[in-house]
């Protein structure tokens, strides 16, 4: 009997593979970072090489099995979770991408989105998708590729090209081109999927000028989908779980009832609250999206997205060089009592919810002669929690009752200073699980439930560790007011003159 589930966690800056056993314990992990491409002279552009995404993910998968001494036949199923809105277009015959992957952080279609908003299209888009017209989502990225790569639109119209988010790209390659699929959580992030009627929407496809022939088949997040057919060390293992990273983390935290909420501190920060089976639009500039369902029925979540969360720490390391590794930031930030009046708005790729300003700019203000790298590090860490507090306020205004606790995960959630500051800002307990790999756990749970590895979600919940709870201790309302002033100053800076 197979004893393990393999989760492939394809993220924005790295690809990871994590092996879980029957009690949900992490048995092994492997991780490979890959290149972030910032085309010269192109403000706000972010790209990835699709083949580097694939090879980094496959290398991690083979590596984790080798380290753990696990054979493919010992793996009951594979669950895949991925950076969601990143768009890839490839040739159906050759399997070669026509262009780099355009990453979810990319802002090149900001003007196109602004024109669509000006035309009056956004209200209808929101009614159908729960999303806003923003370059964050995949649909305008696909249109950009078709319009700017020679011959691409003509080839797409002839049915020669395929579109997919990263899950589709991985599965296409894992199955040697036999399956062109995505799950509902990823489909719901494209601006092209009607989450009320559960279908690719012809009106939206026409609006964004994307041929229907490019679109993948849509499947459930927990469903046996067939075996890996390549010879990359995983041949014969069943693919049985797919979910966009944030919905996967929501499921990994077992937030399966209306009102349950989690925040993931990854490259960005993503706050999701389960809404149940009724579609409802946000009145406070949040998004409505599809959640994972093991019962094969539509379930919804309210979502707020921060584009630069933990990535600000990576920038301190790689951009400023003031820390050697991301784990150094907590000690540096704690070496001063506060940020010394420095406010850091990390709007490197515009602002997400609830501001939705693609022209916002990164900004540090309040710098004086006494400012040190420690103050900058403190302000950077503070900015992660302050952005999350903006999301929480909007979410509380959208829901019948305020959140009573926040479940947290992601790499930056290991930072105790950040978690305590977050609890203080929100005035609610912050619950951190013993295992922070809840995004990968969600994909593993979805796959395991599909193949009977675990009988039900109750069994999974019984095996989960209680973790750590951070209780509110201080009042930072004055600091939050100063943050709002800094946000206002950063907005619109990159607007074309």
Residues forming the annotated binding site?
A: 12-14, 16, 84-85, 136, 245-246, 267, 310, 314, 411, 415
Q: What is the CA angle 115-120-126, rounded to 5?
A: 100
Query: What residue numbers does the annotated binding site for ATP cover?
Result: 12-14, 267, 310, 314, 411
Can you tell me the distance from the alpha carbon of 113 to that of 125, in angstroms, rounded to the nearest whole number?
12
Instruction: Decide: 166 and 83 in contact? Cβ < 8 Å.
Output: yes
Output the CA torsion 299→305→310→311 (10° steps). Answer: 120
Beta strand pairing call for 193-194 and 161-164: unpaired
Q: What is the DSSP letter of 61?
A: H
Q: What is the CA angle 474-479-480, rounded to 5?
A: 100
User: CB under 8 Å to 218, separation ≥6 — which residues?
Assistant: 181, 182, 183, 184, 187, 193, 199, 200
- Which three-class secondary structure state does DSSP give residue 54? helix
Query: What residue numbers does the annotated binding site for sn-glycerol 3-phosphate cover?
Result: 12, 84-85, 136, 245
- Which three-class secondary structure state does DSSP give residue 124? helix
Q: What is the DSSP letter of 431?
A: E
Output the CA torsion 144→150→152→157 (10° steps). Answer: 110
Hunting for tokens 């507090």 — which residue is that?
Answer: 389
Query: What residue numbers does the annotated binding site for glycerol cover?
Result: 84-85, 136, 245-246
Q: Which two tokens stand for residue 173?
A: 């390659």
Q: Residue 296: left if φ>0, alpha if ψ -120 to 50, beta else—which one?
A: left
Can you tell me the distance from the alpha carbon of 295 to that of 305, in angstroms, rounded to the nearest whole number?
26
Can you tell me the distance from the alpha carbon of 225 to that of 151, in angstroms, rounded to the nearest whole number?
33
Can you tell me the distance from the alpha carbon of 313 to that of 290, in angstroms, rounded to the nearest whole number?
30
- Which three-class secondary structure state does DSSP give residue 301? strand
With 0-12 CB in 10 A as exposed, 13-18 as middle and 19+ as buried, what is 151? exposed
Query: What residue numbers does the annotated binding site for ADP cover?
Result: 12, 16, 267, 310, 411, 415
Q: What is the CA angle 104-149-147, rounded to 5?
A: 75
Output the CA–CA distances (angstroms, integers) from residue 46 to 35, 42, 107, in the order listed.
Answer: 11, 9, 8
- Output phi, psi for 463, to 5 deg: -95, -5
- Determine the length of the chain: 497
Q: What is the DSSP letter of 316?
A: I
């Amino acid at each position: 009997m197979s004893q393990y589930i393999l989760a492939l966690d394809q993220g924005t800056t790295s690809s990871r593979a994590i092996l879980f056993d029957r009690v949900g314990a992490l048995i092994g992990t492997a991780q490979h970072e890959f290149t972030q491409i910032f085309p010269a002279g192109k403000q706000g552009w972010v790209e990835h090489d699709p083949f580097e995404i694939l090879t980094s993910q496959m290398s991690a998968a083979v590596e984790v099995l080798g380290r753990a001494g696990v054979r493919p036949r010992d793996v009951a199923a594979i669950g895949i979770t991925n950076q969601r809105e990143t768009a890839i277009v490839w040739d159906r015959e050759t399997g070669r991408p026509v262009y780099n992957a355009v990453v979810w952080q990319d802002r090149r279609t900001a003007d196109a989105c602004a024109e669509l908003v000006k035309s009056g299209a956004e209200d209808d888009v929101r009614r159908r998708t729960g999303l806003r017209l923003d370059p964050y989502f995949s649909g305008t990225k696909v249109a950009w590729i078709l319009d700017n790569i020679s011959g691409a639109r003509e080839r797409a119209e002839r049915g020669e090209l395929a579109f997919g988010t990263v899950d589709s790209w991985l599965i296409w390659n894992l199955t040697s081109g036999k399956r062109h699929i995505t799950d509902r959580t990823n489909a719901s992030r494209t601006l092209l999927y009607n989450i009320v009627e559960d279908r690719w929407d012809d009106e939206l496809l026409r609006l964004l000028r994307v041929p229907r022939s490019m679109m993948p088949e849509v499947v459930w997040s927990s469903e046996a989908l067939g075996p890996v057919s390549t010879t990359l060390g995983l041949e014969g293992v069943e693919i049985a779980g797919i979910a966009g990273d944030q919905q996967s983390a929501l499921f990994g935290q077992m937030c399966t009832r209306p009102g349950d909420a989690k925040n993931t501190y990854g490259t960005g920060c993503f706050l999701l609250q389960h809404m149940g089976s009724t579609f409802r639009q946000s009145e406070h500039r949040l998004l409505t999206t599809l959640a994972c369902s093991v019962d094969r029925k539509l379930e919804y979540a309210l979502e707020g997205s921060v584009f630069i969360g933990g990535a600000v720490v990576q920038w301190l390391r790689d951009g400023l060089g003031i820390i050697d590794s991301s784990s150094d930031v907590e000690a540096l930030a704690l070496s001063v009592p506060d940020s010394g009046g420095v406010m850091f708005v990390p709007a490197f790729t515009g602002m997400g919810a609830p501001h939705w300003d693609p022209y916002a700019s990164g900004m540090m203000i309040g710098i004086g002669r006494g400012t040190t790298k420690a103050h900058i590090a403190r302000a950077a860490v503070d900015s992660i929690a302050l952005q999350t507090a903006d999301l929480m306020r909007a979410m509380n205004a959208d829901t019948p009752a305020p959140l009573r606790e926040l479940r947290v995960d992601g790499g930056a959630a290991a930072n105790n200073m950040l978690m305590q500051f977050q609890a203080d800002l929100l005035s609610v307990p912050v619950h951190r699980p013993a295992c922070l790999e809840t995004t990968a756990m969600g994909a593993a749970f979805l796959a395991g439930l599909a193949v009977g590895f675990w009988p039900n979600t109750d069994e999974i919940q019984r095996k989960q560790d209680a973790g750590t709870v951070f209780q509110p201790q201080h009042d930072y309302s004055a600091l939050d007011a100063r943050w709002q002033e800094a946000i206002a100053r950063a907005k619109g800076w990159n607007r074309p003159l």
